[in-house]
């Protein structure tokens, strides 16, 4: 088996995030916004795969955010999404984003083993303990008070299944399961590569104890450096090492003015304000996925890309910002666009060579 792309040679790794959902990460009314039709997703996946992107990461969403567009109402389920893409791609890691309270660990283990076998060791698990209770209500489950305590139990059962061997019982506070077994095992051992999406201190602790990578947000480069230092300290305390990935939305244009004008157009003038308000309110009250100052100071980033970091400008400027992110220690980032398929080719053509020239990536 070849090495999973998440452990490949590029010093700064790139992924595509949220292409399985309408709008991608944006919350905007512009007509060219991402509709997440299957044919365009398939084309995008092939393009990203050929361009050497390391991973394709879907968002786990079950309900829209209202407003005029009901942003994210349309989204593909992420385990079957990763499985479907395995036949269309050759080298990328295909993540499934799995909600701990919704998906039982025994099911997730078998599903991930299936994708890993079908893809030749390219499955990935993005474990999300979750925040959105109205979504959980659709499944009749309630988010645990100590959501990460449930996460640890989930993880132990998940890896227990993938280990193979004799059937086992597991009795914890959240799971009481008996005679657990499973085959086949995953190709990647002891389990497929794992991201954990979180921002809070308990979320970082969970990531360093269970996963290969923390997938997190940042408001400024200085804050990002602090998050990385804090996460590394937490990892050191438990004798592990972990990569820290982040997430950005991108407007890349030949001139700075063009990029900024378009950002203003889709993320301010054409923002779906009611959906942005609902998204921000829900996130503020139910999730810790962002530094509180992002809600206060960076409203535009929510319409722009669900509160992620904006990369707005020329290819030179964006390459410099990505290099700065590498410099402070991020192992990589996801990128999202208003229309992935229209905009990714320019990014690939203009930004990737600059990252290669900077020694952060090699040509694919
Ligand atoms: C970068 C990132 C991506 C996330 N992706 C999802 C997702 O796809 N679906 C979801 O329900 N929650 C997602 N979350 C939310 C987490 O599951 C979690 O509920 C949230 O970060 C609050 O937990 P914390 O205490 O770890 O910060 C994401 C969080 C981050 C930071």
Give the Å distances, CA to CA, from 51 to 81, 86, 223, 281, 343.
20, 16, 30, 37, 13
Ligand 1 nearest atom to the CA of residue 18, by list position:
8
**Does residue 351 form part of some domain?**
yes
In 3D, which of 97, 105, 199, 109 has the Cα closest to residue 150? Answer: 105
Structural domain boundaries, residue 148: 5-357
**Does residue 269 form part of some domain?**
yes
**Does residue 74 form part of some domain?**
yes
* 135 CA from centroid of ligand 1 (Å): 13
DSSP element (H, E) containing 346? helix 340-350
**Does residue 323 form part of some domain?**
yes
Inter-residue long-range contacts of 294-299, CB under 8 Å, 24+ positions, other chains counted: 294/217, 294/219, 297/219, 298/219
In 3D, which of 148, 150, 159, 247 has the Cα closest to residue 204? Answer: 148
Polymer length in residues for the chain? 364
Residue 302: CATH number of its domain: 3.20.20.30
**Does residue 363 form part of some domain?**
no
Ligand 1 nearest atom to the CA of residue 135, by list position:
11
Tell me, what's the pLDDT at 1?
54
d(CA 184, CA 173): 28
Tell me, what's the pLDDT at 316?
98
* 283 CA from centroid of ligand 1 (Å): 10
Residue nearest to atom 4 of ligand 1 (CA): 197
| DSSP structural state of residue 294 | H
Torsion angle defined by CA atoms of residues 333, 334, 340 and 344, in that order, rounded to the nearest 10 degrees: 30
* Helices assigned H by DSSP within 199-311: 201-210, 221-237, 256-264, 273-286, 292-297, 299-305
* 198 CA from centroid of ligand 1 (Å): 5
**Does residue 339 form part of some domain?**
yes
Q: Which residues line ligand 1 (CB under 6 A)?
A: 59-60, 97, 128-132, 197-200, 202-203, 215-217, 247, 287-289
Q: How many structural domains comprise the chain?
A: 1
* 164 CA from centroid of ligand 1 (Å): 30
* pLDDT tens, N- to C-terminus, the chain (364 residues): 578 999 999 999 999 999 999 999 999 999 999 999 999 999 999 999 999 999 999 999 999 999 999 999 999 999 999 999 999 999 999 999 999 999 999 999 999 999 999 999 999 999 999 889 999 999 999 988 889 999 999 999 999 999 999 999 999 999 999 999 999 999 999 999 999 999 999 999 999 999 999 999 999 999 999 999 999 999 999 999 999 999 999 999 999 999 999 999 999 999 999 999 999 888 878 777 777 777 777 889 999 999 999 999 999 999 999 999 999 999 999 999 999 999 999 999 999 999 999 999 999 8
Residues facing 126 on adjacent strands: 97, 195
Give the Å distances, CA to CA, from 324 to 91, 254, 255, 311.
27, 21, 20, 12
* 237 CA from centroid of ligand 1 (Å): 24
**Does residue 122 form part of some domain?**
yes
* 262 CA from centroid of ligand 1 (Å): 28
Among 101, 147, 199, 279, name the best residue to mutate to test ligand 1's pocket (greatest count of ligand atoms within 8 A of Cβ).
199
Ligand 1 nearest atom to the CA of residue 128, by list position:
17
Residue nearest to atom 12 of ligand 1 (CA): 130
Residue nearest to atom 15 of ligand 1 (CA): 130
Residue 269, C-beta contacts closer than 8 angstroms, at least 6 positions apart = none
**Does residue 362 form part of some domain?**
no
């Amino acid at each position: 088996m070849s090495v999973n792309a998440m452990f490949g040679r590029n010093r700064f790794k790139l992924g595509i995030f949220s292409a399985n959902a309408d709008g991608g990460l944006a919350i905007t009314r512009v007509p060219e916004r991402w509709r997440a039709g299957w044919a365009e997703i398939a084309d995008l996946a092939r393009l990203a795969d050929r361009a050497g992107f390391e991973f394709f990461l879907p968002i786990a969403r079950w309900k829209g955010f209202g407003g005029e567009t009901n942003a994210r109402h349309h989204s593909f389920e992420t385990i079957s999404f990763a499985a479907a893409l395995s036949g269309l791609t050759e080298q990328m890691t295909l993540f499934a984003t799995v909600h701990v309270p919704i998906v039982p660990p025994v099911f997730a283990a078998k599903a991930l083993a299936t994708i890993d076998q079908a893809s030749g060791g390219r499955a990935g698990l993005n474990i999300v303990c979750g925040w959105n209770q109205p979504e959980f209500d659709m499944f009749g489950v309630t988010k645990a008070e100590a959501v990460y305590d449930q996460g640890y139990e989930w993880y132990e059962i998940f890896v227990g299944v993938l280990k193979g061997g004799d059937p086992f019982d597991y009795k914890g506070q959240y799971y009481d399961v008996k005679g657990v077994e499973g085959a086949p095992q995953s190709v990647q051992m002891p389990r497929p590569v794992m991201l954990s999406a979180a921002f809070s201190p308990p979320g970082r602790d969970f990531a360093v104890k269970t996963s290969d990578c923390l997938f997190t947000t940042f408001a400024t480069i200085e804050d990002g450096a602090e998050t990385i230092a804090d996460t590394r300290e937490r990892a050191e305390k438990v004798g592990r090492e972990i990569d820290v990935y982040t997430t950005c939305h991108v407007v890349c244009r030949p001139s700075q003015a063009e990029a900024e004008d378009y950002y203003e157009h889709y993320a301010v003038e054409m923002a779906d304000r009611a959906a942005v308000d609902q998204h921000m309110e829900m996130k503020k009250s139910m999730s810790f996925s962002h530094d509180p100052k992002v809600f206060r100071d960076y409203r535009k980033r929510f319409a722009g890309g669900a509160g992620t970091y904006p990369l707005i400008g020329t290819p030179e400027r964006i390459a410099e910002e990505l290099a700065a992110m590498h410099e402070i220690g991020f192992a990589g980032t996801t990128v999202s666009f208003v229309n992935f398929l229209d905009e990714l080719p320019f990014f690939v053509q203009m930004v990737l060579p600059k990252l290669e020239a900077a020694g952060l990536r090699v040509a694919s």
